Amino acid sequence: MLAWLDLRNDLVFNKIPPAKYRYYLDSALAFGEQAAARLNGQDIRQLCAQHQIAIEIKKDDGLFFTVQFRAQFEYSEKLSRRKITLYQPSLESLLAGCASVGLVMSLDTIIDIHLAHEFFHFLEYQQRPVSASLEKVCNVAIGPFRRYSTVGATSEIAAHRFCQRFHQLDYYPSYYDFLWLAHSGKQTQWENERCFAEAWQEMLAFGLTPQADACL
């Protein structure tokens, strides 16, 4: 269901025919699961080292204008740059959000979770982005003129699922963001629950089957 929320937040979500929702969700989740199965049992830091991906942990808060980053991936084959930057204060604030509901994790664990997410984006750069592998949607239609766009959220869904399976997490990782939202006062627990309940109803209305636990 959290994957559904990711899809629903896509910029072109309202251009996706409802009959295609399942296709985008299932395909994106499958991309993440297959990549995790291929790398089963490996260590994320070793994988980064093997692929010459530098890891930098910054002590600043990763705030760019109003957007706060926890992790970023820079990739340039031309400049031979492969680097994941993590912002420690943001990660610590995420940890505090998780701990507030009894989900205690170490900083190393939360770092590994973010490394796996960004490593999946690296795999996409190397092969093909998930969003580019799936059907495009018609974004603009004026007379005979058509413009098509990829559904960018499918890359995020795949990266989240990859991370979840790779680290055998109990939850689809955006769940931790919801805990953080509640803990940091950006959204109340009640608003989180209302958001989940609405998403659940939408999935049922579109004939999609939410998993028994909303946060899987």
28 or 159: CB nearest Zn ion: 159
Assess contact for 1 and 214: CB atoms under 8 A. yes
- The dihedral of CA 23, 132, 162, 106: what is its sign? negative
177 or 202: CB nearest Zn ion: 177
Which residue do the tokens 């995790």 mark?
Answer: 36
Stretch that binds Zn ion, among 1-9, 152-160, 180-188, 200-208 (CB under 5 A): 152-160
Binder to Zn ion among 159, 179, 203, 208 (CB under 5 A)?
Answer: 159
181 or 202: CB nearest Zn ion: 181
**Torsion angle of C-alpha atoms 123, 77, 84, 62, degrees rounded to 10:** -120
Dist CA 138 CA 146 (whole Å): 7
179 is a contact residue toward Zn ion (CB under 5 A) = no
What is the nearest approach in angstroms of Zn ion to the Cβ of residue 158?
9
Continuous H helices in the chain: 2-8, 21-38, 44-50, 88-99, 107-126, 130-133, 153-166, 174-183, 189-205
Stretch that binds Zn ion, among 30-38, 103-111, 149-157, 163-171 (CB under 5 A): 149-157
Q: Total number of residues binding Zn ion (CB under 5 A)? A: 2
What is the nearest approach in angstroms of Zn ion to the Cβ of residue 126?
15
Which residue do the tokens 């413009």 mark?
Answer: 147
Stretch that binds Zn ion, among 107-115, 155-163, 168-176, 200-208 (CB under 5 A): 155-163
126 or 188: CB nearest Zn ion: 126
Copy the structure tokens of residue 119: 């490593």
- Positions touching Zn ion (CB under 5 A) are 156, 159
